[in-house]
């Protein structure tokens, strides 16, 4: 499908190479199988992780320790192409790089970095990020998971929920209350007292592993603490990194739905002519393209701000709110164009539509991002 606004003309040669490389990987390794993965509720992380690592996609925006050290726009382009395959694939890469590797890279000790980052960048070790709890999602300050000092050790108790990669992870970055405030802990999942049962019966993000985490007197050495940060600033900075990837990723999901709708409209014949020749269908497609292109413009602008060191969390909230809602609207419109075929896994639309229902909620609900913008406009925090 033509890029009518020529947005990708603004990409440099390295960014275009990343686009084409990731797009080819998704076409070869993901698209032929992802419908079955979605239907069967599986994600072959152990098979895909080394391949993703060999392409430099895990922690690709970080430097050193085997990470690619790309710019923010390159990372965004990769997220876009990954989510054009499936939100679960982009979520895996996002959680690995932005939520598990980033806090170790940013706030970890030299020993923590050396132990985990090279293996995670290569896809040899999988990470997860434990912040959300069963009773505390949008308000992480109320978390009940607690780490208490016992001599030089820490003893961790509590639970987390809706954790991507949780039951397949080798290491969990867990955020817990302490007597000194919220701290991050690097927890090998083989530690006694740690368990991560998978959450089943999902109708969204089925090609993704989602788990609960339980900590029952998990004893950790002093070296498990992330030394570089105390307070919610730590986990919130990680979420900003991941949300930035979502801003780009959902453009890929929207584009995939639009392309499916355009192809279908050209070939589906009703009343003796293709439905793409009817004005109502063309109006839907035109607005779907406008929404996709506007989301792409937003993502590119935020990427340029991030590369310039000028990106603010409230700007990421704007992008996450606007782009996810646009992508979900586009997926729903595409479903109407495909009619009954739109609810089958023969086409990607219902899979993307269901996935986007989760993306709308995770890493900040649309309500929270709305209130972030409301505070930016009025100076008054409505959620406090």
Residues 6+ apart with CB under 8 A from 83: 89, 90, 248, 249, 250, 251, 252, 253
| Residue 323: closest CA among 376, 252, 373 | 252
Rounded distance, CA 232 to CA 237, Å? Answer: 8
Rounded distance, CA 230 to CA 220, Å? Answer: 18
Catalytic-labelled residue, pool 81, 115, 133, 363:
363
If you ran DSSP here, which 8-state letter would residue 167 be given? G
363 counts as catalytic: yes
Which phi-psi region, left, alpha or beta, contains residue 83 (left: φ > 0; alpha: ψ -120 to 50)?
A: alpha
Report the half-sphere exposure of 326 (CA within 13 A, side-chain side).
29
Secondary structure in 3-state letters for 184-240: EEEEECCCCCEECCECCCCCCCCCCCEEEEEEEEEEECHHHECCCCCCCHHHHHHHH
Rounded distance, CA 43 to CA 150, Å? Answer: 39
> H helices of 30-131, where?
34-40, 45-54, 72-85, 87-94, 102-107, 110-121
**Hey, which bits of the chain come out as E strands?**
127-130, 146-150, 153-164, 171-178, 181-188, 194-195, 210-220, 269-270, 273-274
CA distances from 350 to 28, 39, 153, 324, 335 (A): 21, 11, 48, 15, 7
Catalytic residues: 363
């Amino acid at each position: 499908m033509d890029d009518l606004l020529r947005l990708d003309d603004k990409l440099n040669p390295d960014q275009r190479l990343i686009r084409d490389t990731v797009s080819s990987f998704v076409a070869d390794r993901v698209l032929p199988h992802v419908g079955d993965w979605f239907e069967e509720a599986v994600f072959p992380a152990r098979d895909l992780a080394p391949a993703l690592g060999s392409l430099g996609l895990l922690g690709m925006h970080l430097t050193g320790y085997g990470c690619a050290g790309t710019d923010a726009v390159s990372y965004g382009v990769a997220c876009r192409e990954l989510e054009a395959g499936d939100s679960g694939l982009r979520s895996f890469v996002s959680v690995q790089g932005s939520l598990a590797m980033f806090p170790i890279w940013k706030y970890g000790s030299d020993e923590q970095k050396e132990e985990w980052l090279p293996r995670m960048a290569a896809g040899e070790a999988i990470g997860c990020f434990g912040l959300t709890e069963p009773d505390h999602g949008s308000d992480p300050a109320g978390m009940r998971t607690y780490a208490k000092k016992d001599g030089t050790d820490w003893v961790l108790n509590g639970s987390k929920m809706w954790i991507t990669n949780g039951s397949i992870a080798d290491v969990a970055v867990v955020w817990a209350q302490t007597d000194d405030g919220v701290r991050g802990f690097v927890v090998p999942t083989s530690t006694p007292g740690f368990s991560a049962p998978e959450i089943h019966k999902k109708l969204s993000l089925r090609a993704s592993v989602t788990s609960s985490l339980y900590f029952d007197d998990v004893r950790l050495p002093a070296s498990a603490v992330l030394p570089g940060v105390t307070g919610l600033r730590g986990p919130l900075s990680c979420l900003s990194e991941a949300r930035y990837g979502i801003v780009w990723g959902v453009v890929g999901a929207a584009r995939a739905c639009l392309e499916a709708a355009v192809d279908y409209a050209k070939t589906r014949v009703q009343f003796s002519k293709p439905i793409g020749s009817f004005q109502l269908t063309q109006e839907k497609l035109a607005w779907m393209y406008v929404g996709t292109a506007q989301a792409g413009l937003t993502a590119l602008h935020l990427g340029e701000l991030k590369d310039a060191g000028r990106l603010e969390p409230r700007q990421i909230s704007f992008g996450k709110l606007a782009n996810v809602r646009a992508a979900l609207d586009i997926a729903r419109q595409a479903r109407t164009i495909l009619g009954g075929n739109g609810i089958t896994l023969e086409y990607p639309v219902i899979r993307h539509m269901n996935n986007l229902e989760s993306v709308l909620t995770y890493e900040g609900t649309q309500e929270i991002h709305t209130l972030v913008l409301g505070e930016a406009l009025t100076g008054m925090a409505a959620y406090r």
